[in-house]
Structure 1
Amino acid sequence: MVIQRQTSKMLLYLVWILLGFSLGAPPTDLDLEAFGLENYDDPDSWDLHYNYDDEHEEVETVAPPTALTPPPAVVVPENYVEEMTLPPRPTKSPVPSTLDFKAPGLFGPDTGLGMPTCLLCVCISGSVYCDDSDLTHIPPLPKETTHFYARFNKITEIKAADFINLNQLKRIDLSGNQIGKVNEDAFRSLLQLQDLMMADNNIQALPELPASLKHIDIRNNKLRSSGMHAEAFKEMKELQFLYLSHNKLDYIPVPLPESLRVLHLQNNNIQSITQDTFCNSHDKNYIRKALEDIRLDGNPVDINLYPQAYFCLPRLPVGTPV
């Protein structure tokens, strides 16, 4: 019985030893003499206590990784404008304006504003449009120009060289400028010119005009009879429209070509009419069929005093004394 009890104690001790090793308990210094058979059954002789304070084993712990927080999203305001500093522009030395540059260039010759005429104006199929462009001079025109429009500018003079070598020019419209002087040779070389429009200027005298003209408009100027060539319109075999109203003419500029259809002379200083002004006093059968519109109103002349001057006309002139 005693042997059986001791055997049980031994098994219990072995189980305890095995459990100690499996749990990683630190080794102990065993006193084998204390576990003899004579004191094996004495539980007081067992030293089952382990002093962990004698061991100072430092265990390092790994800190958990720091959570990465994404940066806040950049919100661009609606009215945000990114400022940029541009490099300074290269400066060019000023080039003096000139109207004497005759090189054709890609867009026509240069104007007095330092740019080609066809950039300052509009050039389309031989027509050059320079209306309301603050011009003070007539710009050099491409040689192939056929129609030139420079209305409502500040041009004060027409020079001899302004239209030189423009052999294809058919129409000039300079209405609404400040032209006070026209050079005597300004239009002499324009052998194909058909329309000359210079209304609303300050013109006091007309130069020699091409015989090819069909339409002349010099309304609202300061033109005087002394400023016109004698028989200025006689050789114009194709002239149809002659507008000379609101000037300072003293008489009707005769002889008038047979082709004339419209003659406006209202608001001048015309004081008399002769029998040969419109008709031929030597040929009573003569009829001027083309001239259908004559305006003489606003002049000192009383057209009722000259009935013999209208017998060849299809229509009587319009006119009342001032």
Structure 2
Amino acid sequence: MPTCLLCVCVRGSVYCDDNDLDQVPPLPKDTTHFYARFNKIRHIKNTDFINLNNLKRIDLTGNQISEMDDDAFALLPQLQEILLADNNLQALPELPITMTFIDVRNNRLISGGIHPEAFKDMSRLEFLYLSNNQLDYVPVPLPESLRVLHLQNNNVQSLHVDTFCNTNDRNYIRRSLEDIRLDGNPVNINLYASAYTCLPRLPIGGGY
């Protein structure tokens, strides 16, 4: 069945929420926003979004995704926002540097499942939601553009003095990063005061 009969297509947006889908349907080439929340999708393949050069937002919240091909999103030149909350992911595939918003809350992400320096070159990334996973450390380096970092309810046990700041530059101030959540982790943020000297606001969090 053609996707726009199964789903709702409106001016580049395709809405397939709560539709018992077990895979991503073929999308029109002019798709800019794709919503397939609360379905039964388990695997995202590298062919699911091929040649969708206008795609800016993908929302797959509330599926059963446990596997993603590593290049499933890497070649989307305009992708800015991806929402993968409430799935079963242990690993995060490579994402394009155009990202501004990443939400992978409530998965089973482990630190080894995130590419080294995965977010470093995302110069427009502002919102990074990683809460309720199994991460052991903060995924550094973080881009200067970042405004919100939520890591509550993970397994972060320590912080490095350069996690947020730059010890080589005492005048450095990270002005954008105003919302850091570390509550629900084993780390006691009171032991790492030197890691926050460059921040406009202290992280939220305690220790066990």
Q: What range describes the TM-score normalised by the shorter chain of this pair?
A: over 0.9
Distance in 2, Cα, partners of 1:182 & 1:213: 18
Residue 97 of structure 2 is matched in structure 1 by: 211
Residue type at the aligned position of 1:121: C
Higher strand proportion: 2
Matched, 1:229 2:151: no
Using the alignment, how far apart are the partners of 2:169 and 2:184 within structure 1?
31
Q: Tell me the residue number matched to 1:253.
A: 139
Q: Following the alignment from structure 1 to structure 2, what is the Cα–Cα distance between the partners of residues 293 and 223?
A: 21
Distance 1:189 1:270 in 2: 31
Give 1:196 shift.
0.5
Match in the other structure for 2:176:
290
Cα distance in 1 for partners of 2:147, 2:19 equals 34
Name the TM-score, length of structure 1 as normaliser: 0.64
Alignment match of 1:168 (pick from 48, 54, 57): 54
* Alignment TM-score, normalising by the size of structure 2: 0.99
Off by >3 Å, runs of 4+ in structure 1: none
What amino acid sits opposite 1:308 in the alignment? S
Give the structure 2 partner of residue 138 of structure 1: 24
Per-residue CA shift, 1:97-136, capped at 9, x if unaligned? xxxxxxxxxxxxxxxxxx1100110000000000000000
Structure 2: distance between partners of 1:232 and 1:118:
34
Q: Select the structure with the greater relative contact order (CA < 8 A; seq sep ≥ 6).
A: 2
Match of 2:160 in 1: 274
For residues 207 and 291 of structure 1, the distance between their equivalents in structure 2, rounded to whole angstroms, comes to: 24
RMSD: 0.5
Tell me the amino acid that sits aligned with residue 142 of structure 2. L
1:299 aligns with 2:185: yes
The alpha-carbon deviation at position 319 of structure 1 amounts to 0.1
CA displacement, residues 195-239 of structure 1 (integer Å, 9 cap, x when unaligned) = 000000000001111000000000000000001100000000000
Matched, 1:321 2:207: yes
Equivalents in 1 of 2:69, 2:99: separation in Å?
18
What secondary structure, in the 3-state scheme, does the structure 2 residue paired with 1:196 have?
strand
Structure with more helix by fraction: 1
The one-letter code sitting in structure 2 at the alignment partner of 1:304 is N
Identity within the alignment, %: 71
| Aligned mates of 2:138, 2:74 — CA distance in 1 | 24
For the residues of structure 2 that align with 1:150 and 1:214, how far apart are their CA atoms? 20
Map of 2:14 onto structure 1: 128
- For 2:36, the equivalent position in structure 1 comes to 150
Aligned amino acid, residue 8 of structure 2? V
* Secondary structure of 1:162 counterpart: coil
Tell me the secondary structure at the aligned position of residue 128 of structure 2.
Answer: strand
Q: Which residue of 2 aligns with 1:199?
A: 85
The equivalences for 1:37-186 within 5 A come to 115-186=1-72
Give how far 1:191 is off: 1.1
1 CA distance for matches of 2:77 and 2:53?
Answer: 7
Aligned mates of 2:154, 2:24 — CA distance in 1? 29
Offset of residue 189 of structure 1: 1.0
Mapped partners of 2:53, 2:107: distance in 1: 28
